[in-house]
């Protein structure tokens, strides 16, 4: 039998912890985020989190369904930080671009947590609100439901995939990250043109661009494609109306 949902107020620890603080879901999530940022996902455990909060580790299970539940709450927090303060303007392309960049940026602000949560689905309120906003923008723009779902799928997966991809280097030690970035100049820029003519011709451009995220470019390409699709039926209707008018005129002349 499924357990009854216990509201957060009812789960709240009544007595302060050893550090004099009263536990809440938000405090636990923020502390977990800090631990993941400092020690990586391997450094997050109920025992370590309990020690950081000054509480018995078992207390955490009054708030979350195990450590996996806490992981989902961390993902929800990242999405929430992107959605909070964002409001649709009614211009669907601008709205989706701004929201995508906000979500991507929220994950990159916590790269270790991004690697831990970008592939997860929490089903929590702020994640659901983000999904509702994207689908609402697409349906409000005039996309049929099937097209709206297809574009939504590509949109959100693209955003989270780039978040995980771009978080990878940021989660590396600084020395390793800098070494990877320098290879565009130390290796690629020095390849012989007679053997690698295309790399040699674009080496300077590659060195300038490759250390940066391609997400804004990919997002614009996706939205360009969606915009063309939305305009296509109207253009086709106009062409068909023009052909029908021309046929009538020609028929009249011929008659």
Q: What is the DSSP letter of 61?
A: G
Q: Are 118 and 160 in contact (CB under 8 A)?
A: yes
Q: Which domains does the chain have, with CATH numbers?
A: 8-64 (1.10.10.60), 88-229 (1.10.357.10)
**DSSP calls for 166-186:** HHHHHHS-HHHHHHHHHHHHH
Q: What's the pLDDT at 249?
A: 40
Residue 3: how many CA atoms within 13 Å on its side-chain side? 6
Per-residue pLDDT in tens (0 to 9) along the chain, 255 residues: 444 444 445 544 455 555 556 789 999 999 999 999 988 888 899 999 999 998 988 888 889 989 999 999 999 999 999 999 999 999 999 999 999 999 999 999 999 999 999 999 999 999 999 999 999 999 999 999 999 999 999 999 999 999 999 999 999 889 999 999 999 999 999 999 999 999 999 999 999 999 999 999 999 999 999 999 999 876 665 555 555 544 444 333 333
> In sequence order, which residues have a C-beta less than 8 Å from that of residue 125 and are 6 or more positions away?
76
Whether this prediction's pTM lies above 0.85 is answered by no
Q: Among candidates 41, 34, 136, which has minimal Cα distance to 83?
A: 136
The answer to whether the Cα torsion of 108, 109, 111, 113 is positive or negative is: negative
Q: Are 184 and 205 in contact (CB under 8 A)?
A: no
Cα separation values, 184 from 111, 162, 188, 203, 210, Å:
23, 20, 5, 8, 8
């Amino acid at each position: 039998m499924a357990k009854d949902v216990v509201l957060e107020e009812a789960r709240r620890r009544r007595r302060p912890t050893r550090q004099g603080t009263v536990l809440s879901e938000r405090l636990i999530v923020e502390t977990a985020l800090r631990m993941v940022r400092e020690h990586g996902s391997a450094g997050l455990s109920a025992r370590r989190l309990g020690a950081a909060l000054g509480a018995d580790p078992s207390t955490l299970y009054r708030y979350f369904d195990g450590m996996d539940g806490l992981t989902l709450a961390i993902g929800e927090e990242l999405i929430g930080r992107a959605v909070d303060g964002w409001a649709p303007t009614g211009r669907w392309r601008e709205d989706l671009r701004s929201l995508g960049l906000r979500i991507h940026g929220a994950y990159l602000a916590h790269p270790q947590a991004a690697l831990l949560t970008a592939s997860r689905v929490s089903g929590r309120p702020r994640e659901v609100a983000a999904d509702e906003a994207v689908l609402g923008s697409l349906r409000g723009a005039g996309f049929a439901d099937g097209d709206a779902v297809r574009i939504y799928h590509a949109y959100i997966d693209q955003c989270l995939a780039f978040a995980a991809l771009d978080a990878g280097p940021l989660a590396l030690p600084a020395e390793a990250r800098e070494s990877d970035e320098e290879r565009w100049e130390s290796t690629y820029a020095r390849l012989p043109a007679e053997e690698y003519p295309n790399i040699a011709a674009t080496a300077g451009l590659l060195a300038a661009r490759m250390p940066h995220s391609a997400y804004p470019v990919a997002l614009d390409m996706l939205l360009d494609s969606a915009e063309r699709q939305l305009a296509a039926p109207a253009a086709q209707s106009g062409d068909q109306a023009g052909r029908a008018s021309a046929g009538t005129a020609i028929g009249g002349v011929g008659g």
